[in-house]
Structure 1
Amino acid sequence: YPFIMPAWKNWIKAALFLMSLAGYLLIQLVIREQAVIFEIHSVILSWLSISNIVFSFICLGIWGTYFNFAVYRTEEKLDAEHAKSERLLLNILPAPIAARLKEEGSVISDRFPEASILFADLVGFTRFSEQMPPHELVAVLNTYFTAFDALAERHGLEKIKTIGDAYMVAAGVPNPDPDHARKICAFALELLDALQRINRELGHSLELRIGVHCGPVAAGVIGTRKFAYDLWGDTVNTASRMESHGIGSRVQTTERIYLACRDRFTFEERGMVEVKGKGSMRTYFLNGAV
């Protein structure tokens, strides 16, 4: 019973057992064979009996107090572990998805008729990473992505994942948002500003290539041991192509983004671009807010 006697105090258990055994053997083998030396007065016997009962209750009270304290400490530890698990789950999944997963415990899948997807990639980071030790590389990458995470949270966007030095963000999922296109464009421009600021602080000259597209997407949680909230569909693929066919330090968008945001942002038409798996597409560069 770990509540009554902590498991790490096994030597106390052994000592108590040996003392009890020694006392029992002493009584059985030695004391019972001795003649009565003196008799205890009945008043003293009564007092000893009462004292024994009182002492027993005191011991039980102390034992019960310790038991209650041990239970309280255990409950505190369980609450702390539960809170820690909640924080870890929310770091992996969006809050609404985490709540649904706990309630439903089944496969979660949704379809969103409209959402905006952004892909960003640190240009030349692979070559850049070969010039520094692993711990410094991770620290640098963490500095950039931590700043990006803060921006995403401030704009109410959902970070989907990082793949090496690539960064994926969505607007309008898991909570639909009619203003998703504007938010993703504002976020994209601030990403470039954040990159320049960190470059100055760290003394680097990295560039960020960004691609944006909007449209219908499918979303859901995959995995059973390591959960992951991910997005699928042509919209995701097109946004990825906008990034990979883009230019460093520029935000390349599709015509759909341009049509949705041209009243709030300034764009520069790039023209027709041959996009892998999509053919020729008219694309635009996002320059700034109106």
Structure 2
Amino acid sequence: MAFVAMGVYGTLSAPVRPLTHGWTLFFFVFNTAPIIPMLGVFAALYATAATRAEREMEKEYQRAENLLLNILPEPIAARLKDDPHLIADEHPSVSVLFADIVNFTETSGRLTPPEIVQTLNAAFSRFDTLVEKHGCEKIKTIGDAYMVVAGLPEPREDHAQAMVSLALDMIDAAQEINESGQFPFSMRIGISSGPVVAGVIGERKFAYDLWGDTVNVASRMESHGRPGIVQITEATRGHLGDEVQIDPLGDVEIKGKGRMRTYTVSRGFAP
């Protein structure tokens, strides 16, 4: 307020001794010249801060994007971002796999909690790599169980072949882990093929999941299977060619479905 008052007073009152043109120009330059470099410095600081902020935002966006893609398939994530409403799709022909570590509950009793998590993480990380290799889609883990689907969200005609190849690689990986001596490790794997409904459930901690008889039967194929083998249904067998050896296992009683004929697959060619 004092400076404003002095400015008003100086403007309204007549100068005691008017400055010459040279002095007027000197004071004008003296007062205005520092403004230009100061503005340049402020602009440079702002530009640097803005660039840094944009980079941080981009990193955070990419981190969030990667986390989203770890939860949802890429096409589903894109749809959810464009239109955050109910997603429920019917898929007429896919293959579903369930895998389970045999006797994990009893064996894990000899491990500490960190060792249990470390063991499961090592095994499932290995399986994740195999899932990506075969172009399948991991749905979820449930304790020591592992669920995968082939043939969605993008349909593919060879979904059964891809799933069986994945299952055989998982059996081999389990055998390698077992031979390492770190953890007694064997797998039961069951596969079924047919229609499913796939969708996103939840609003905050959402999840991509599958429903239908094909899912239930695949789960029964695993739970009624034997360690170290891949048990498949008649429906899955119908999708396979001569790439693998197929042998009958017999009939399995499936709740709500009755007796179903099952088969096992192994590497090699059918005679």
TM-score relative to the length of structure 2? 0.89
Deviates more, 1:135-144 or 1:114-123: 135-144
Matches within 5 A, 1:1-290: 43-44=22-23, 46-261=25-240, 263-290=242-269
Identity of aligned residues (%): 47
Bigger mean CA deviation after superposition, 261-270 or 147-156: 261-270
Distance in 2, Cα, partners of 1:41 & 1:181: 95
Shift of 1:263: 2.9
> In terms of mean alpha carbon deviation, does 215-224 or 47-56 score higher?
47-56
Contact persistence 1:110–1:219 (CA under 8 A)? yes
Which digits, 9 at most, give the CA deviation of each residue in 1:175-218, with x for residues without a partner? 10110111111111111001111222343222100000000000
RMSD across aligned C-alpha pairs, in angstroms?
A: 2.2
Query: What is the CA-CA distance between 1:102 and the residue it aligns to?
Result: 1.3
Contact 1:212 1:254 in 2 (8 A): yes
Q: Partners in 2 of 1:59 and 1:258 — Cα distance? A: 77
Structure 2 residue matching 1:246: 3-state secondary structure: coil
8 Å Cα contact 1:245-1:275 kept in structure 2? no
Aligned length: 259
C-alpha distance after superposition, 1:69-112 (max 9, x if no partner)? 21111111111111111111111111111111112222111111
Moved over 6 A (4+): none
TM score, norm. by length of structure 1: 0.83
Query: How far did 1:268 drift?
Result: 1.9
8 Å contact from structure 2 (residues 98, 191) kept in 1: yes
SS in 2 for 1:74: helix
Could you tell me which runs of 5 or more consecutive residues in structure 1 were left unpaired when the two chains were aligned. Answer: 1-20, 29-38
- Measure, in 2, the Cα distance between the counterparts of 1:258 and 1:153: 23
Q: How big is the shift at 1:139?
A: 0.9
Q: Which runs of 5 or more structure 2 residues have no equivalent in the other structure?
A: 7-16
Q: Distance in 2 between matches of 1:270 and 1:243?
A: 13
CA displacement at 1:40 relative to structure 2 = 11
How far is 1:44 from its partner? Answer: 4.8
Amino acid at match of 1:187: L
Q: Greater CA deviation, 143-152 or 96-105?
A: 96-105
Paired with 2:18 and 2:111, the residues of 1 have a C-alpha distance of 87
Q: Distance in 2 between matches of 1:40 and 1:131?
A: 98
